[in-house]
Amino acid sequence: MKKIENLIKTYYDFPKKGIAFKDVLEIIQDPEVFRELIIKMSSNEVLINSEAILSIDARGFIFGSAISFQSSKPMVVARKPGKLPGELIQENYNLEYGKNSLSIQKKALERFNSYVIVDDLLATGGTVDCVTKLIRRNDKRVSGLLTVIELKELGGRSRFDFPVESIITI
């Protein structure tokens, strides 16, 4: 896991002053490290105990799709506004640096009852909370959260009543 940590870069004052942005994109530029990470995430119990993966726009898609492939689990996506066609369910949320919303195609949630949420990073938990509300509003269950990085000092995991698994805790 030290190899993974070394590939995470911090950009200060991005996207606005006071934010220390953790960039995971160098992980996917190292196929050996990326493969090791995906195999580790794909064998996690919260994933095994779910029927499907729900990946969050946009970096969550990178990890979610690779985990979906490795684990042979289906994947549903939560996207930012204006990115999905069809009948949508939508929820607003606050970021550390602004506001946004996420949408899921209503039909996509009909096929499965339990989801593991996959994203690159857990900070305050606002984005994951948004997705959790969307899932539960449709009488579905969240079996857990699986992230590459967790920013422990921001306490995001304390918001959730389901298992949170992070490969790296900073």
For residues 107 and 80, the answer to whether their CB atoms sit within 8 Å is: no
- What are 115-147's pLDDT values in tens digits? 999 999 999 999 999 999 999 999 999 999 999
Q: What domains are there in the chain, each with its CATH number? A: 45-169 (3.40.50.2020)
- What are 1-45's pLDDT values in tens digits? 789 999 999 999 998 898 899 999 999 999 999 999 999 999 999
Neighbour count for residue 164 (Cβ, 10 Å): 19
Neighbour count for residue 19 (Cβ, 10 Å): 15
Environment class of residue 102 by beta-carbon count within 10 Å: exposed (0-12), middle (13-18) or buried (19+)? Answer: buried
The pTM score is 0.95
Neighbour count for residue 74 (Cβ, 10 Å): 14
